[in-house]
Amino acid sequence: MDITISPIIQASELLKLYATENIVIVDASSGKDAKSNYGSKHLKGALFVDLNTDLAEVNKDPSIGGRHPLPKIEDFAKTLSNIGISKTSHVVIYDDQNGSSAAARFWWMLRSIGHKKVQVLNGGIQEAEKINFPMSSKTEIINNTEMYEFNDWKLPMADLDEVEKVSQMENHTVIDVRDADRYNGKTEPIDLIAGHIPGAINIPFSENLKKNGQFLSPSELKIKYENIFKNAKSESIIVHCGSGVTACHTLLAIAHAGLEIPKLYVGSWSEWSRNDKPIATLIGKK
């Protein structure tokens, strides 16, 4: 894909562009209070997307595709049209957790259908507030647009069978971006079983960020991930998390570093751990 803009945008940049360009700003915050929080305060002009209904097709059985499987192509196309996104739109996405909520997931989905002008706001809504970006609690006007047509997801993905086949091969790398306690098997606050996929390495998504909560610079991220990949090809690298959402935070960081985007295992731990697959822990190990 011919991507000509950085996947990350600074709040100061957005403030300048906001007044001069036709930008579609999207609030992708998630959690039980996300919609009400949006109604109380959001970036002026921002529209809301819901992780569970717009960015996923949640099944009753997470063993099939995990907790946040991708929506059907036609449903995602309808979502984009419903919030006024066309193929030429410049889209800026934010959440309240600097991309680890659902902003990075939405970014990945747009990139995966070939959308070129899409960025995630560095530091999220909190950073925008620091520079006095205009806020609103009003209902926003949606620009009418034609149906966004696309045929398939273009970015690489891995499924359960592929992960099981390659996770312990020396020429493949499976990256688990959950926090260390979940990976180690010490605790599991969301899914049924603690631990990790045998052979997977742990690189928490939080390590993509500085102490101030903003992304590391592209050069810092490039050094970090080139060292981890050790010249491996992107098709031999698989990134996952709990349900295929925060894994996109690391994919965003890798893209910000100027590196090829690896495969996303959408089903992630929520699918793996419900299918009687081998589970590793580091409990009791030094």
Q: How is domain 8-136 classified at the architecture level of CATH? A: 3-Layer(aba) Sandwich (3.40)
Report helix, strand and coil shares of the chain as percent, to nearest 5.
30, 15, 55
Structure tokens belonging to residue 45: 């002009």
pLDDT of residue 1: 37
Instruction: Specify the pLDDT at position 284.
Output: 58
Per-residue confidence (pLDDT) for residue 2, from 0 to 100: 44
What's 157-272's CATH class? alpha beta
The 10 Å CB-count burial string (b at 16+, else e) for 267-280 is bbbbbbbbeeeeeb
* Domain spans, the chain: 8-136, 157-272
Q: Find the length of the chain.
A: 286
How many helices (DSSP H) and strands (DSSP E) are in the chain? 10, 12
Long-range contact set of residues 9-12: C-beta below 8 Å, sequence gap at least 24: 9/92, 9/119, 9/120, 9/121, 9/122, 10/122, 10/127, 11/121, 11/122, 11/123, 11/127, 11/128, 11/130, 11/131, 11/133, 12/131
Q: Distance between CA atoms of 266 and 43, rounded to whole angstroms?
A: 29
Residue segments in the chain with a per-residue pLDDT below the cut of 70: 1-4, 284-286
Q: What is the pLDDT of residue 234?
A: 85
Over residues 42-94, the pLDDT tens digits come to 999 999 999 999 999 999 999 999 999 999 999 999 999 999 999 999 999 99
Query: Does residue 241 have an active-site annotation?
Result: yes
What global pTM score does this model have?
Answer: 0.95
Q: Cα–Cα distance between 264 and 233 in angstroms, integer?
A: 14
Q: Is 52 within 8 Å of 35 (Cβ atoms)? A: no
Q: 8, 51, 128, 241: which one is catalytic?
A: 241
Q: How many CB atoms lie within 10 A of CB 188?
A: 16
Other CB atoms closer than 10 Å to residue 58's CB: what's the count?
Answer: 15
Return the DSSP state at 217.
P
Residue (of 189, 191, 31) closest to 100 by Cα position: 31
- Same CATH topology for 8-136 and 157-272: the answer is yes
* Strand blocks (E) in the chain: 8-9, 23-27, 42-43, 47-48, 90-94, 118-121, 135-136, 157-158, 173-176, 201-202, 237-240, 263-265
